[in-house]
């Protein structure tokens, strides 16, 4: 289980430390030049989220604990967990023409 985090603080951190550049402002993914993954409703637990931040597998930079303490990661995780799921494809008119 995740430590308690503050989603409002997490949203601010998500923007200020650069997460939104690649992952989009609403965690929708596809932003930046690297096209980060969608984070909204990704279905992973806090340990996997923390591990990805500390030891990323792709082009994502590592966020070491001295730069981003675990408490701040818990805030970001709380924000990401609060994001709504993406819309159903059938609800997007341009995709159904």
The string of pLDDT tens digits covering residues 63-76 is 999 999 999 999 99
pLDDT of 78 > 90? The answer is yes
Inter-residue contact 12 to 19 (CB < 8 Å)? no
pTM: 0.83
On whether the CB atoms of residues 3 and 70 are closer than 8 A, the answer is yes
**The two structure tokens encoding residue 48:** 């996997």
Residue pLDDT, tens place only, 3-37: 889 999 999 999 999 898 888 888 888 766 667 88
């Amino acid at each position: 289980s995740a430590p308690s985090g503050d989603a409002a603080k997490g949203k601010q951190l998500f923007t200020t430390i650069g997460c939104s550049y690649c992952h989009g402002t609403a965690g929708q993914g596809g932003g930046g030049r690297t096209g980060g993954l969608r984070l909204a409703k990704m279905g992973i637990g806090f340990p996997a989220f923390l591990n990805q931040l500390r030891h990323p597998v792709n082009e994502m930079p590592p966020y070491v604990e001295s730069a981003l303490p675990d408490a701040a990661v818990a805030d970001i995780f709380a924000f990401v967990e609060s994001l709504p799921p993406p819309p159903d494809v059938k609800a997007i008119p341009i995709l159904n023409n």
